[in-house]
Amino acid sequence: MKIFRLFFLCYCFTLSLNTLSQSDEEVLKKIYKTSLTNGQSYNWLNYLSNQIGSRLSGSYGAEKAVTWTKEELEKLGLDKVWLQPVMVPKWIRGAKEYGYIESGSGKTSIVNICALGGSVATPSLGLKASVLEVKSFEELAILGAEKVAGKIVFYNRPMQPDLIHTFEAYGGCVNQRYKGAVEAAKYGAVGVIVRSMNLRLDDLPHTGAMTYDDLPVSQRIPSAAISTNDAELLSAMLKLDKSIMFYFKQNCKQLKDVLSYNVIGQITGSEFPNEYMLVGGHLDSWDLGDGSHDDGAGVVQSMEVLRLLKEIGIKPKRSIRVVLFMNEENGLRGGNKYAEMSKKNNEKHVFALESDSGGFTPRGFSFDCDDASFNQVLQWKPLFKPYLIHYFEKGYGGADIGPLKSDAMVLAGLRPDSQRYFDHHHASNDTFDAVNKRELELGAATMTSLIYLFDKYGVNPISNLETIKN
């Protein structure tokens, strides 16, 4: 037994020496090769998606995912794995929603709808009222209570199709989903129907978070998403007949908060153990699909970063944590709790990387940092060129790592190709079959490479940067 342990220690020491003697170009090549030929991310995602399934905060699926990911991280032989308690909301959808459009002649056309996350239910027999179509809150305000009261407000502002950055298109219209009920209730509306956040025309309604802010319970109105095809149908029918009615029934309910957990694993740094680098995604998902792109992909890619470092024999200088956040979708409780505990424990975070944009082909990263740190990153671009990673821009890091933000650290977000992302986002087709194995593994390798470089050089030590050949 002693001989075996001695052999193992020598093997690990040799791996470390080999890594130290390799150039950055050689290390990145090994990272990508290992991920593509001996990766674990796709197998993990298969289990998470197909054996556990959807993981809405407070659900049994979320509870199972916490247990399973903790066990998988423990199998990697990390220095430390633990659960961080966090109270999360528990909203349940209930029986499947039902809706239809009713013309003046009494003819009905069934439509595809789903309750928005956090919405109240309709009355037990459903809700039927005339419909008022608007494109913006400003248009709603102009119409006022005289025209809005007693009606169902239909928000029908599409995602802007000519924007290449599809998250920009999403940001341009998501306020109607999130605050649509609050604005409509001001003028006496009885319900809200929102066009799904989707760039293509299909029959799938897309859920997502909505809010009532501080509206009294008596003023909260039911809110649902309608598929883009049916939004087009409803709009066309309203142009022909303003008197048509809309009926929908949903059975959702908000329960008391429940206990859940962030799942955390750590490789302790060899030189600067009290400097922390974080890589993560959110473990919760919406309930319509199995959350493979949002954000199962980010979860398994983040786990894979630590596995690849160990597989290749890289012993990081700084402590590297994988954090699988709970409740990003409808509360951000996990991200806020992690930041709160980090501050309480006086932990020094120098870098954080989030993957929450799907498992499609990686294109690069966006960085929330100062100019000096960003200029450092730009000097690494030639290392990523062989892997077709070219997008290095200042921008948004991520929702879960955002609460950690400080002037002394760099936040980064993985940026995959996003053109098909909103086909699946928060919909029933966000499933394992929509994720390509190779694309997922390329993303994991790209994340690992950036973690490796930031660990090796720190944040903005330009004078220490090795010369990189063009």
Tell me the CA end-to-end span of the chain in Å, nearest whole number.
49
Euclidean distance between CA atoms 120 and 73, whole angstroms: 38
Residue 420 buriedness (CB in 10 A; 0-12 / 13-18 / 19+): middle
User: E strand or H helix at 446, and its extent?
Assistant: helix 437-457
What's the half-sphere exposure (Cβ side, CA atoms, 13 Å) at 302? 32
Question: What is the Cα–Cα distance from 388 to 241, expressed in whole angstroms?
Answer: 52
Active-site positions read: 328
Is-contact 456 20, C-beta < 8 A? no
Nearest residue to 126 (alpha-carbon basis) of 137, 115, 141, 139? 115
CB burial readout 32-68, b (16+ within 10 A) else e? bebbeeebbbbebbbbbbeebbbbbbbbebbbebbeb
Q: Omega before 295 cis (within 30°)?
A: yes
Torsions phi, psi for 257 (to 5 deg): -55, 150
Using CA atoms, how far apart are residues 335 and 60, in angstroms rounded to an integer?
Answer: 21
Give dist(CA 241, CA 109) in Å, integer.
Answer: 14
| Closest among 293, 148, 112, 329 to 221, alpha carbons compared | 148
Running DSSP on this structure, what letter comes out for residue 293? I
3-state secondary structure 97-156: CEEEEECCCCCEEEECEEECECCCCCCCCCEEEEEEEECCHHHHHHHHHHHHCCCEEEEC
User: Three-state DSSP class for 46?
Assistant: helix
Say if residues 248 and 99 touch (Cβ distance below 8 Å): yes
Residues whose CB falls within 8 Å of the CB of residue 186, separated by 6 or more in sequence, listed in order: 145
SS3 content of the chain, % helix, strand, coil (to 5): 40, 25, 35
